[in-house]
Amino acid sequence: MDRVRQSVDRRTSIHLLTGFLGSGKTSLLQHYLRTPSGADTAVLINEFGEIGLDHRLVAAGTAGVQLVEGGCLCCAVSGVLGESLRLLLAERKRTDRPFSDLVIETAGLAYPEPILNTIRSDYALNEYLRIGTVVTVVDAVTAEQSFARHPEAVRQATVADRIVVTKADLVPPNQVTRVIQHVRSLNPFADIVVAGTLEFRRSALFDAASERRETCSSEEVPTHRSTYRTFALAIEQPLDWARFSLWLAALLNRHGRSLLRFKAILELRGTSRPVVIHGVQHLMFPPRHLDRLPDGQRGSNLVFIVDAMDPERILRSLHRFMEQQTGPLAA
């Protein structure tokens, strides 16, 4: 089915807007909804608290705004989120209020991964919805403190396709630079833009992330939290997909919660077209083919963002499971 979807995918894109408390998610969303791109966008807002306010702040005239109150989506996720999405889809059919895109604004204290997982693992929702872009809002004023004290803020940054740094005008330029470096260390895959600058276009908030995601850095990036690590493995020899997929599935089964983010461009045996795979914890997205390897890359390149996992053990394990294919691997 996914192969059919890849050629003619008419499912509605569901984007995630996340970010820590007070980072400016709702303001960004308001601005986006006023642009032509946001005109046909439905919105699902989740607030942590009994009385929701944010849905009143979102611009009227959007294709539909629903509020999920009284708890956090990631904690009660499968029931409440699934039900809310089904209601939105049913209402679209019943009232003829079409929407082309859907945005979920998460609570500031939400972990984003369970929300993504719920959408991906619900077969009924998958018929109508596909995961679009994950946008994380990072407040330049409080980012350093939030990352140091709140694991939710770190996890929100690690899963992002695009990170928008807000309130840059309230801090000195060197602090903005520091925040960007910090964010880059947490997530080498994401587009990073600063709100209010020329390169930031409101209407493009949920556009697919740029091609830089198709490259994997082979340098180890120091992260600020002591248990988080980002590292890359390079393997020159083409990989055997059967072996690799079994190994990765076993790794996700045992260590999915610690594997915060994973992305790889793989050169596989038996095909000239490299494959891009990426995942968030237990959740893997459908692989895609590239026409050729990015310039300068030879063989496979795998990048991991992990929590309390030893890169050496992962490398040794990969060697053990792959070495039977023809012999020792180069790394």
Partner 1 sequence: MCEVCAIFGIGEHWVESAPLVPAEFPAIEIQSHRVERRRRIELLNAWLLRTGVTVHDWDGEAFSVEDNSGRRRIASDLSTLWPAVEALAGRPFDPLADEMPYGSR
Residues within the interface to partner 1 (CB under 8 A): 1-4, 6, 123, 241-243, 245-247, 249-255, 268, 270-273, 275, 277, 279, 282, 284-289, 313-314, 316-317, 320-321, 324
Dihedral of CA atoms 217, 221, 224, 226 in degrees, nearest 10, equals 110
Q: What CA–CA distance (Å, rounded) separates 162 from 133?
A: 8
Nearest distance from C-beta of residue 26 to partner 1, angstroms: 33
Nearer to partner 1 by Cβ, of 3 and 10: the residue is 3
Nearer to partner 1 by Cβ, of 225 and 243: the residue is 243
Closest CA to 294 of 191, 213, 174: 213
Nearest distance from C-beta of residue 268 to partner 1, angstroms: 8
Nearest distance from C-beta of residue 90 to partner 1, angstroms: 22
Nearest distance from C-beta of residue 317 to partner 1, angstroms: 5
CB 65 within 8 A of CB 104: no
- State the Rg of the chain over Cα: 20
Nearer to partner 1 by Cβ, of 212 and 289: the residue is 289
> Beta-carbon neighbour count of residue 313 at 10 Å?
10
Nearer to partner 1 by Cβ, of 29 and 77: the residue is 77
Closest CA to 44 of 124, 121, 125, 123: 125
Nearest distance from C-beta of residue 283 to partner 1, angstroms: 9
Nearer to partner 1 by Cβ, of 220 and 310: the residue is 310
Sheet containing strand 129-139, edge to edge, reads 64-68, 41-46, 101-105, 12-19, 129-139, 162-166, 191-194
Nearest distance from C-beta of residue 55 to partner 1, angstroms: 34
Nearest distance from C-beta of residue 251 to partner 1, angstroms: 5
Backbone angles phi, psi at 133, to 5 degrees: -110, 135
Helix (H, G, I), strand (E, B) or coil at 257: coil
Q: Is the dihedral of CA 113, 116, 118, 120 positive or negative?
A: negative
Both tokens assigned to 34? 């006023």
Nearest distance from C-beta of residue 282 to partner 1, angstroms: 7
Helix (H, G, I), strand (E, B) or coil at 32: helix
Both tokens assigned to 65? 């705004």
Nearer to partner 1 by Cβ, of 28 and 306: the residue is 306
Nearer to partner 1 by Cβ, of 178 and 269: the residue is 269
The DSSP line for 260-282 is: EEEEEEE-BTT-SS-EEEEEETT
Nearer to partner 1 by Cβ, of 125 and 251: the residue is 251
